[in-house]
Amino acid sequence: MGRRVIISLLGILLILLLFGWHQWRDITDIYHRALSIERANQHSHQLHSIELKTQRLAMLVHDFLINGTPDYPPAYRQLSQMLRQQDDDPVFHQLLRRMDRTAAAIFALPAATENMEGPLLLHDLDTVMADISQRIATSHQQLDHSVNGDLHMINGLQRDMRDDFLFSLIFIASLLLTLALYMYRRVIRPLAVLQHEVERSRRSLQPPVCPDFGDNELGELARALNRLGKEVQDHQQALSQARSLLAHQEKMQALGMLSASIAHELGNPLAAAMVSLNVAQRKLEKRDADACNQQLTKAEESLQRAESIIHNMLNFSRPGAEGMQHKPPLQPLISEAINLLRLGRHGQAVTFRVSCPATLPAFSVNIDMLRQVLVNLLVNACHASPQGGSIHIHVWSNEALHIDVKDEGHGIDAAHQQALFSPLFTTREQGEGSGLGLAISRDLMRRMGGDLQLVESSADGSVFRISIPVEARC
């Protein structure tokens, strides 16, 4: 595309240069014609001056015949000399010499009124004057013809220049319009399409799908954007998988920390169920049906407790689903997280107090992600609270739905609060925490459109707030 544009621009420049050269040639021709008219005008003034001076010569001769004043011959010779210097026409010089000879003959006559030779010489002088006037008139006609020709040529050149100028304007306007259409189709419109695709990709987090604009720079840019979008999508998928795996590993680590207590809690109901079944067997051998049914009921209750423990473990440990659930019940979800924490030693040493209103605004969350965030916050609260302390879980709403988790620990140092949500940061002893819990929890909340923040920290404890966006009311 770039080579074609350069060739087109060079062709346009060549055409404009040709038009410019033609206009310059016409302007130069008009200039020379104007100079010729100016010279003709000057020559015309010169001829008029010669005509007046020749008439002055004739009057000097006539006045000499009448007055006989001796000053006329010197004045005549001086004026005649000026005429010879003023015009270099040989025919005019020849006529002027004839006039000089006639005037010299008249100046040589005696001053006698009865002299008959004077009128004859005056007749010859008039004849010479007529020839001079005819010569001057002929020169005037030639100058007029030359000036008329030049004026006609100048008018023609002006019309040609006007036509060329109009044609040049039309040609340049057509070129500009063609160039504008070409730039729109080849540059502006493809760039607008690319910009739209990039903006759509930014809003939807999907790779851009740019059309192929051919084998040119914009086509290469479109293909590069498509490749970049595909690579970004692949990296995003890999990053999402890594995040999910990291969150699942954090779950497994939490379960590992609770494994000893979970085994103990699971062993108690199983042992009680086994004892109840043994007693029921002996009662059955003695044919004591009522006592046998009582023992079987106790065994069923123990097994249900073991099933509840296993159910909570499975709900927490399974990989999180990707879908969002509309307005799930929060109270059972909080109870599941608390029951899971009560399996551990730290969870058994504190009291959980829950405040959750019956009516909540509409919202959507991922149940598995929210459960993991709650468990992480409750684990941290159990570790921070002293034995016999309380953990308060308060659910409330304004512009968003909030879940506040408050412990009764000693608070978090101001120096640690800035790095609290940074990966691998922990205030626990080595081996007791990975430092990923809060970082992963905040990431999970933000992936759901919410947030996780430390809103209060003092000597009386800390408050972490889960924020969930609510849906607008119609």
Q: What is the pLDDT of residues 363-401, one digit of tens each?
A: 888 888 888 888 888 888 888 888 888 999 999 988 889
Closest CA to 360 of 330, 404, 325: 330
Of the three residues 145, 163, 184, the one that is the final residue of a domain is 184
Q: What is the pLDDT of residues 236-245, one digit of tens each?
A: 777 666 666 6
- Asked if residue 379 belongs to a domain, the reply is yes
Report d(CA 117, CA 109) in Å as an integer.
8
pLDDT for residue 249: 59
b/e 191-213 (16+ beta carbons within 10 angstroms → b): eebbeebeeebeeeeebbebeeb
Neighbours of 426 (CB within 10 A): 17
* C-beta of residue 361 within 8 angstroms of C-beta of residue 470: yes
Q: Mapped to the 3 state alphabet, what secondary structure does 172-186 carry? A: HHHHHHHHHHHHHHH
**Tokens 């002027």 label which residue?**
96
- Asked if residue 260 belongs to a domain, the reply is no
| CA-atom Rg of the chain in angstroms | 60
Report d(CA 80, CA 266) in Å as an integer.
150
- Residue 262 tokens, joined: 């979970």
What are the CA-CA distances from residue 373 to residues 340, 389, 404, 458 (Å)?
13, 21, 12, 22
What are the CA-CA distances from residue 301 to residues 274, 281, 344 (Å)?
12, 17, 21
Q: Which one is predicted more confidently, 207 or 104?
A: 104
- Asked if residue 95 belongs to a domain, the reply is yes
- Collect all residues with Cβ–Cβ distance below 8 Å to 154 and sequence separation of at least 6: 30, 33, 34
What are the CA-CA distances from residue 308 to residues 248, 265, 301, 350, 430 (Å)?
21, 11, 10, 21, 32
- Collect all residues with Cβ–Cβ distance below 8 Å to 387 and sequence separation of at least 6: 349, 350
Closest CA to 350 of 405, 302, 313: 405
- Collect all residues with Cβ–Cβ distance below 8 Å to 336 and sequence separation of at least 6: 312, 315, 316, 371
Average pLDDT in the chain: 78
Of the three residues 164, 184, 204, the one that is the final residue of a domain is 184
| Percent of the chain topping pLDDT 90 | 5
Of the three residues 130, 150, 184, the one that is the final residue of a domain is 184
- Across the range 335-364, mean pLDDT stands at 84
Give the helix ranges, DSSP H, for 108-116.
none
Q: How confident is the model at residue 322 (pLDDT cuts 50, 70, 90)?
A: low
Beta bridge partners of 470: 363
Beta bridge partners of 399: none
* C-beta of residue 37 within 8 angstroms of C-beta of residue 151: yes
Residues spanned by the domain of 460: 320-474
- Asked if residue 269 belongs to a domain, the reply is no
pLDDT for residue 204: 72
Neighbours of 266 (CB within 10 A): 16
Q: How confident is the model at residue 282 (pLDDT cuts 50, 70, 90)?
A: confident
Most confident of 11-20, 162-171, 225-234: 162-171
Lowest mean pLDDT among 13-17, 138-142, 215-219, 446-450: 215-219
pLDDT at 2 over 70: no
Report d(CA 291, CA 298) in Å as an integer.
11
Number of domains in the chain: 2
- Asked if residue 227 belongs to a domain, the reply is no
What is the domain-level CATH number for residue 350?
3.30.565.10
pTM of the model: 0.44
pLDDT for residue 113: 45
- Asked if residue 243 belongs to a domain, the reply is no
Q: How confident is the model at residue 112 (pLDDT cuts 50, 70, 90)?
A: very low
- Asked if residue 31 belongs to a domain, the reply is yes
- Asked if residue 352 belongs to a domain, the reply is yes
